[in-house]
């Protein structure tokens, strides 16, 4: 761990997929490429005084679990004709002006990808706005000159930058890759699973995800007990998780942006033991990606910038939907809460988003619907006038019940919203 | 007595050998005239405005070999970055402490990326 570039108008730490190196659907392990970016951007002489902070995300799957297109630069590793390359999306972001990064280049050969990044940054460093802090992110530049023009300028800069020898040889990537070598998987690990314990089976279906190695799984620990504080764990629970990581996941444990924990490499034959230990520690919440798996920022309870509390709203909503059967019937529903316009709780990207605002000294909550931080990325839209603390919980419930009444088979909340639009939900909530 | 420094706007059409460029000036416009330039002064009205780093690198990348001066709100923390971007002369508004500058320049033995100076990135040292 290090604290380089965790502040300032520089390139911040690179983010990636919480299942990197384990996900069954990745074209390559994104971590070595992310590390290469980290090295290139660390103490970068030209890009340490950018117009504004700069965040890059790199993923390697079609399924986006990292809100890639809501970053200043989102990169997806892709394969074309058997060759690895990078698709570049530039100019996304949340905050007070949420924007989805447009595709700037669909395939940058991987041996050019640092040069291409350098070109992207140079255009931004030269032409990004510096007159107004709220208009200084790259999303504003790309929006103002247009994605096509930005891409053209990057292309021109790239033609020059590529001659400077910025891209290291493949040998360097191989050296880095060795640090991310897969753990010593057992080649003959069994794929069989005894699902006879129904509670265990429910947890497996909800929280355990496919691993690229046969006989292994990705375990997601949802730190979202009904009525608890999203993302909180006691010291005793942290000890349990650390022990489980050591014993069953090759000593590896990851913290996710969704305020959950991942044990990336668990043998299927160990799943029951892991679940039992989690269950004993009240950590076997089988609600990953369900409505009670809420992302909530610290809000007014802890944050000096807040307009409203986030945590108690999350607690009340989760409690309202405590019935596990009902939650599962509702299915995937990403609910995200921010206590102010800075959007640390990613409310723009919530299927249901809640934004706390200050209305003449009183906490008020705006409801947005239809956002997504995944591959079907979109920015949620405000449904109508805001609510007080109890009103927002009722409004969420009404919207969810509306969805249950009008959904077509197989539709998630988000799909139904996209099909029917805001009107039926408006009627249900305000009618 | 050195030649007078002209502004970017005055430079076009003159035969000046020294020019001052502000953050918003396009350094690339100087590229056709690099042969006669002996001094480029890049201004930093505020240390936070980092456009001058790109200006300097662009000129060095185009083969400019004269003096590259950073002038204005130039602080010790910026000197290592500026040096890597090709600056070799400094005119700070507030004088810098020599010992601090030396310490800042010597802080890291290796660099991760090639730039406009002679330092060799650590990957090149490893792999040649
Ligand atoms: S969204 Fe606002 S209230 Fe919440 S953590 Fe960020 S700054 Fe604080």
pLDDT tens string A217-260: 999 999 999 999 999 999 999 999 999 999 999 999 999 999 99
CA atoms of B37 and A211, how far apart (whole Å): 61
Q: Would you state the pLDDT for residue A412?
A: 98
Q: Does A61 touch chain B (CB under 8 A)?
A: no
- Pocket lining for ligand 1, CB < 6 angstroms: A 297-299, 303, 305-306, 338-340, 342-345
Q: Would you state the pLDDT for residue A1?
A: 77
- Give chain A's radius of gyration (CA, Å): 22
> What residues form DSSP beta bridges with A219?
A208, A263
Q: Which two tokens stand for residue A343?
A: 């959007």
What ranges do the domains of chain A cover? 2-178, 198-280, 295-430
State phi, psi for B39 to the nearest 5 degrees: -145, 130
Secondary structure of chain B as H, E, C letters:
CCCCCEEHHHHCCCCCCEEEECCCCCHHHHHHHHHHCCEEEEEECCCCCCHHHHHHHHHHHCCCCCEEEEEECCCHHHHHHHHHCCCCEEEECCCCCHHHHHHHHCCCCCECCCCCCCCCEHHHHHHC
How far is the alpha carbon of B1 from chain A, nearest alpha carbon, in Å? 32
Fold of B6-127: Rossmann fold (3.40.50)
CATH superfamily of A295-430: Sulfite Reductase Hemoprotein, domain 1 (3.30.413.10)
Query: A2-178 in CATH: which number?
Result: 3.30.413.10
What ranges do the domains of chain B cover? 6-127
Task: Report the pLDDT averaged over residues A126-138.
Answer: 96
Ligand 1 probe mutation, A98, A301, A342, most atoms within 8 A of CB: A342
Burial class (CB in 10 A: 0-12, 13-18, 19+), B15: exposed
State phi, psi for A53 to the nearest 5 degrees: -55, 160
User: Which tens digits make up the pLDDT trace of A193-220?
Assistant: 999 999 999 999 999 999 999 999 999 9
B128: pLDDT strictly greater than 90: no
User: Which tens digits make up the pLDDT trace of B85-125?
Assistant: 999 999 999 999 999 999 999 999 999 999 999 999 999 99
| The pTM of the whole model exceeds 0.90 | yes
Q: Does B89 touch chain A (CB under 8 A)?
A: no
Query: A198-280 in CATH: which number?
Result: 3.30.70.3340
Atom of ligand 1 nearest to the CA of A308: 3
Within this chain, domains A2-178 and A295-430 share the same CATH topology: yes
Task: Report the pLDDT averaged over residues A76-87.
Answer: 97
Percentage of chain A lying above the pLDDT 70 cut: 100
Q: Would you state the pLDDT for residue A297?
A: 97
ipTM score over 0.90, yes or no: yes
């Amino acid at each position: 761990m290090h604290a380089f570039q965790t502040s300032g108008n520089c390139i911040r730490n690179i983010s990636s997929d919480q299942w990197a190196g384990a996900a069954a659907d990745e074209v390559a392990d994104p971590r070595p490429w992310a590390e290469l970016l980290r090295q290139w951007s660390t103490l970068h002489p030209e890009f340490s005084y950018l117009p504004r902070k700069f965040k890059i995300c790199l993923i390697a799957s079609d399924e986006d679990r990292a809100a890639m297109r809501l970053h200043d630069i989102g990169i997806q590793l892709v394969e074309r004709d058997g060759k690895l390359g990078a698709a570049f999306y530039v100019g996304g972001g949340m905050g007070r002006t949420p924007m989805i990064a447009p595709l700037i280049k669909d395939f940058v050969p991987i041996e050019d990808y640092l040069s291409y990044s350098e070109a992207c940054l140079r255009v931004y460093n030269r032409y990004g706005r510096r007159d107004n802090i709220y208009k200084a992110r790259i999303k504003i530049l790309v929006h103002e000159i247009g994605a096509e023009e930005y891409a053209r300028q990057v292309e021109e800069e790239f033609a020059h930058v590529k001659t400077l020898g910025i891209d290291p040889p493949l040998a360097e990537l191989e050296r880095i890759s060795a640090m991310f070598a897969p753990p010593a998987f057992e080649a003959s690990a069994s794929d069989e699973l005894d699902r006879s314990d129904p509670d265990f089976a429910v947890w497996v279906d909800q929280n355990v995800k496919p691993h690229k190695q046969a006989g292994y799984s990705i375990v997601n620990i949802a730190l979202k007990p009904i009525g608890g504080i999203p993302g909180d764990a006691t010291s005793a629970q942290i000890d349990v998780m650390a022990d489980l990581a050591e014993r069953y996941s090759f000593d590896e444990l990851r913290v996710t942006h969704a305020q959950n924990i991942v044990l990336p490499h668990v043998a299927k034959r160990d799943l029951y033991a892991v679940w039992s230990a989690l269950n004993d520690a009240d950590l076997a919440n089988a609600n990953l990606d369900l409505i009670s798996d809420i992302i909530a920022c610290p809000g007014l309870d802890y944050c000096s910038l807040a307009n409203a509390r986030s945590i108690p709203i999350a607690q009340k909503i989760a409690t309202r939907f405590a019935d596990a059967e009902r939650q599962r019937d509702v299915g995937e529903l990403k609910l995200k809460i921010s206590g102010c316009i800075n959007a640390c709780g990613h409310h723009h990207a919530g299927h249901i988003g809640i934004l706390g605002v200050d209305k003449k000294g009183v906490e008020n909550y705006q409801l947005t619907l239809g956002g997504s931080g995944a591959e079907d990325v979109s920015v949620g839209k405000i449904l109508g006038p805001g609510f007080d603390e109890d009103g927002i919980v009722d409004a969420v419930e009404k919207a969810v019940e509306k969805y249950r009444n009008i959904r077509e088979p197989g539709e998630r909340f988000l799909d139904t919203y996209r099909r029917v639009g805001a009107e039926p939900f408006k009627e249900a909530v305000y009618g | 007595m050195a030649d007078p420094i002209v502004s970017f706007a005055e430079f076009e059409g003159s035969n000046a050998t020294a020019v001052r460029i502000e953050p918003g000036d396009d350094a690339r416009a100087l590229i056709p005239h690099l042969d006669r330039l002996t001094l480029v002064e890049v201004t930093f009205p505020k240390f936070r405005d980092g456009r001058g780093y790109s200006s300097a690198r662009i000129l060095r990348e185009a083969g400019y070999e004269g003096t590259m001066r950073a002038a204005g709100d130039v602080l010790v923390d910026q000197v290592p970055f500026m040096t890597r971007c090709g600056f070799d002369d400094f005119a700070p508004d507030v004088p810098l402490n020599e010992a601090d500058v030396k310490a800042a320049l010597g802080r890291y033995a290796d660099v991760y990326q090639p730039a406009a100076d002679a330092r060799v990135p650590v990957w090149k040292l490893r792999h040649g």
